[in-house]
Amino acid sequence: MEMVNLYINGKEVAAPTGSTVMQAADLAGIEIPRLCYDPDLSALGACRLCVVEVKGNRLLPASCVTPVMPGMEVFTESPAVIEARRTILELLVANHPLDCMTCDKLGECKLADYCYQYGVKESPFAGGEKHNYKCDDSNPFIIRDLNKCILCGACVRACEEMTGQDNLSYLYRGFHRKATTAGDVDYAESDCVFCGQCVAVCPTGALTEKTMAGQGRRWEIERVRTTCPFCGTGCNFDLAVKNGQVIGVLSNPDSPVNGRSLCVKGRFGWDFIYNEKRLTTPLIKKNGQFEAASWNEALDLIAQKFNAIKDEYGPDSFAALSSARCTNEENYLVQKLTRAYMGTNNVDHCART
């Protein structure tokens, strides 16, 4: 790979030809703030928060779309850069609800993090016109509060580039510009398939998981990485756990197959685990009715019946149906029990159906 040498904050760094200044800085471990940039999406250069100073350039270019040049001298935290970033943040929060104390995204809200970093407490531009959009909670999965949207366009790009659903785009002009559905209808009335990729890439509280609303602050959530239990693609994600309860599913960018992409089932279908109809105790049928039983009672009855049937009719009078939904380990045990103890190869699962 051909490399280019450049200087960032006085330090000589090397980056592959064709990289952007932001990528070169990332490689060198120099952090540049960013709102609209997302490594899984095309670079837009819209939020301008990633601006840097480049010697010989009278403007402050956005580092996410500026290619590296040999010998280039870049400054990521110069006074001019810091002032520009602060102004950008002040403009953004002038028209952003400052209800961070009750916002579910706080802790993973990039806008709040950068305001903290650059000391933006209130905006000198406050008092101007503010959006007052109706919050879209027309569906069971996603809360869409466009008052918190900063128009970074990550949701629009995710819907087109990750999913290919093309359900989102920009509507209107100027102050009224909106990242929304065709015809500006609620998600439930649109062509949305509720994959939730827009939620996974949103840097603010504009798009959040409905199941997680009010369930916990982001820093209280334990993430348990696992594999999706629905189809055979093998997507990975994190179960969001608080106080021993699953409260949601969060994308994990390190997932080798799917990255942050999921479908409606993987991201939002997990709540079957808390369905009130879940069985939690063994049941024994007595006179046609199921009655709750202890584990010992149930297992003793099974042992007695299976052994009696095996003794009377022989091993092949038994058959086991294992499951393509269960783990490898469970399947291994079922076929081992069937073969080694029941003495038959009558074991199958629904692969053929």
What residues from 130 to 189 belong to the interface with another protein (CB under 8 A)?
A: 139-141, 161-164, 188
Q: Closest distance between another protein and the C-beta of residue 330, in Å? A: 5
* SS3 state at 8: strand
Q: Which residues pair with 227 in a beta bridge?
A: 236
The only residue of 57, 224, 253, 311 in contact with another protein, by rule CB under 8 A? 224
Q: Closest distance between another protein and the C-beta of residue 199, in Å? A: 14
* SS3 state at 49: coil
Question: Which element (helix H / strand E) includes 88?
Answer: helix 79-94
Kindly determine how many residues on this chain lie close enough to bind another protein according to the rule CB under 8 A: 110
Q: Closest distance between another protein and the C-beta of residue 155, in Å? A: 15
* SS3 state at 315: helix
96: tokens are 């952003």
Q: Closest distance between another protein and the C-beta of residue 213, in Å? A: 13
CA distances (Å), 242 to each of 97, 220, 290, 317, in order? 27, 7, 34, 47
Q: Closest distance between another protein and the C-beta of residue 162, in Å? A: 6
Quick note: the x/- pattern for another protein over 324-353, rule CB under 8 A, is xxxxxxxxxxxxxxxxxx-xxxxxxxxxxx
Closer of 47 and 347 to another protein (Cβ): 347
Is residue 123 at the binding interface for another protein, with CB under 8 A as the rule? no
The only residue of 258, 287, 289, 311 in contact with another protein, by rule CB under 8 A? 258
Residue with tokens 């584990």: 295
Quick note: the x/- pattern for another protein over 271-310, rule CB under 8 A, is xxx-x-xxxxxxxxx----x--x-x--xxxxxx-xxx-xx
Interface segment toward another protein; rule CB under 8 A; list 50-58, 111-119, 171-179, 235-243: 235-243
CA distance 319 to 327: 20
Residue with tokens 């104390």: 101
Scored b (16 or more CB within 10 A) or e, 50-82 reads bbbbbeeeeebbbbbbbebeeebebbbeeeebe
Q: Closest distance between another protein and the C-beta of residue 197, in Å? A: 8
